[in-house]
Amino acid sequence: MVSIAEFSDEPIFTIKVVCERTGIKPVTLRAWERRYNLLDPSRLENNYRLYSDRDIQILRWITHRLENGLTISRAVREYHELRLNGIWPEALPILQTPVLRNPPKAAPKEYSEQLFTAITSHNEIKARQIIDTIQSVFNLETIFFEIFNPCLYEIGEAWYRGEIRIATEHYASGFIRGFLMNLLQAFPVNNRAPKLLVGCAPEEFHEIGPLMLSVLLRREGYQVEFLGSDLPVDDLVAYAEDISPDMVILSAGFEHTARPLFQFQEKLNKLSPKSLFGFGGRYFNENSSARDAMQGVFLGSTLAEAIRNVHDLMD
């Protein structure tokens, strides 16, 4: 993680370059400066503005807050408050630079099929190339929901029909899991944000759903710890007692993995301060009576819904 303070404050970039790199229109940038005292760029003799690398990082941080639904005045106020307390926000990973986006050459479905072919033929070089391409043209939601999920679904179906080996299915999930872990670690950890623990119910090994959720929640600015698969309930409660998370989020895909979760919220309620319990996953999507019977909050049948619900609960 890199603090914005670590970027150079030498004024070298014109407004044109800054706007290209941040995706902000010049007129908007000037308005933000005027109305909210956001930046104080140096001036050339002809009065042209000059910005630093640090200014660009500040603007990227601000636009990321806007993408998260904050108003500009609130985002700038948050930034100024941090600075008043002597804190520099963490820089966003370069991955998120909007100006890298090129128009896609094909629809997500097509990339999903290409990825399926590359992975099921164990062609890692091709799979890497596809990942590099999709990262430069699509946002994370498209990559997760429209490329990875259909690809994994097809892999599951092909495995079920006996068309691909178990080794291939493991290779596929390992490849995608690896990419998601790298992504998770590339996002800054925000120590001041609500703390969320995310993982799988006992004996549940399908961790890609909760891992995707962790990446998206960390991108939203939450302090997320991804704990992986097969978490024993009592150990998790003991860990929650140690670190007092705001919420523990667990995923279950089968009846037998969901069963131990029925007493989970009750166990969390004995802790002080209490932590919320959020749950989801294939089993709950398919069994409305189970999700109604469960104590805690069903976060939704999709990850996008889960993000919205976490926002509401954390507010």
Which residues is 49 bridged to in the sheet?
Answer: 43
**Which stretch in 8-16, 186-194, 238-246, 275-283 sits in contact with ligand B12 by CB under 6 A?**
275-283
One character per residue 284-303, x = contact with ligand B12 (rule: CB under 6 A): -x-------------xx-xx
Minimum CB distance to ligand B12, residue 243 (Å): 19
Q: Which of 24, 212, 236, 290 binds ligand B12 (CB under 6 A)?
A: 212
Q: For ligand B12, how many residues bind (rule: CB under 6 A)?
A: 36
Q: Which of 223, 251, 265, 275 binds ligand B12 (CB under 6 A)?
A: 251
- Contact of 36 with 76, CB cutoff 8 Å: yes
**Which stretch in 28-36, 82-90, 117-125, 276-284 sits in contact with ligand B12 by CB under 6 A?**
276-284
Structure tokens at 132: 């590099």
115 makes contact with ligand B12 (CB under 6 A): no
The two counts, helices (H) then strands (E), for the chain are 16, 7
Q: Which of 170, 178, 238, 243 binds ligand B12 (CB under 6 A)?
A: 170
Minimum CB distance to ligand B12, residue 303 (Å): 5
280 makes contact with ligand B12 (CB under 6 A): yes
Q: Report the residue number, 4 or 299, with the smaller CB distance to ligand B12.
A: 299
For tokens 């959020």, name the residue. Answer: 278
Q: What is the DSSP letter of 299?
A: -
Q: Report the residue number, 194 or 281, with the smaller CB distance to ligand B12.
A: 281
How far lies 148's CA from each of 97, 113, 118, in Å? 21, 10, 13
Instruction: Tell which residue, 71, 77, 135, 79, has the closest CA to residue 108.
Output: 135
204: which residues sit within 8 A by CB, 6+ positions away?
229, 230, 251, 252, 253, 254, 257, 281
Q: Report the residue number, 62 or 268, with the smaller CB distance to ligand B12.
A: 268
Structure tokens at 212: 């995707």
Per-residue buried b or exposed e for 23-38, using 16+ beta carbons within 10 Å of the residue's own CB: ebeeeebeebeeebeb
Minimum CB distance to ligand B12, residue 130 (Å): 17
Q: Which of 281, 290, 291, 297 binds ligand B12 (CB under 6 A)?
A: 281
Minimum CB distance to ligand B12, residue 259 (Å): 12
Site residues for ligand B12, 124-163, by CB under 6 A, read: 149, 152-153, 155-157, 160
205 makes contact with ligand B12 (CB under 6 A): yes
For tokens 């002080």, name the residue. Answer: 272
Order of strands across the sheet with 297-298?
223-228, 195-200, 247-251, 276-280, 297-298
Q: Report the residue number, 130 or 258, with the smaller CB distance to ligand B12.
A: 258
Q: Are strands 195-200 and 223-228 parallel, antiparallel or unpaired?
A: parallel
* Interface positions with ligand B12 (CB under 6 A): 149, 152-153, 155-157, 160, 169-170, 173, 177, 203-210, 212-213, 249, 251, 253, 257, 278-282, 285, 299-300, 302-303, 306
